[in-house]
């Protein structure tokens, strides 16, 4: 009986540990663009909160990771299946004086899926 319990425990641990979720560097891709009034925000930072379906707030220290958008506002995140909240933060240099622009979007992604989206940002505080 002890041997059967041990084998069941070993099987349960291996099943749960092999199923990664809400982490980076997986086979799923979230890609997109950070935009303000349809204009790309170059160099915007995209903060990533794991296992989140709702806005976690503007305190970026509470987020789990971040990526930086390129000169065309494009970003790309390789991740595992799960729920994520992406929060964009940048500066619209075309407005005088330059405004801080912020905004976010929740995303759910499946294994080996590619999701393309826009993070629409607006003038922040």
Taken in order of first residue, the domains within the chain and their CATH numbers are 22-123 (2.60.40.10)
- Mean pLDDT for the chain overall: 88
pTM beyond 0.85: the answer is: no
Say yes or no to pLDDT of 59 above 90. Answer: yes
Strands 45-50 and 65-68: antiparallel
Q: Which two tokens stand for residue 84?
A: 């994520």
C-alpha–C-alpha distance, residues 76 and 59, integer Å: 22
Rounded CA gap, 76 and 94, in Å? 24
pLDDT for the residue numbered 109: 97
Mean pLDDT (whole number) for 62-70: 97
Mean pLDDT of 29-51: 97
Percent above pLDDT 90 for the chain: 74
More confident residue, 65 or 124: 65
């Amino acid at each position: 009986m002890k041997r059967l319990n041990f084998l069941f425990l070993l099987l349960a641990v291996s099943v749960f540990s092999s199923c990664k979720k809400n982490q980076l560097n997986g086979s799923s891709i979230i890609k997109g663009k950070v935009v303000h009034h349809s204009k790309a925000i170059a160099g915007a930072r995209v903060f990533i909160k794991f296992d989140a379906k709702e806005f976690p707030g503007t305190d970026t220290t509470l987020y789990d990771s971040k990526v930086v958008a390129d000169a065309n506002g494009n970003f790309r995140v390789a991740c595992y299946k799960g729920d994520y909240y992406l929060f964009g933060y940048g500066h619209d240099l075309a407005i005088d004086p330059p405004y801080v622009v912020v905004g976010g979007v929740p995303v759910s992604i499946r294994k080996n899926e590619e999701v393309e989206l826009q993070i629409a940002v607006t003038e922040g505080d």
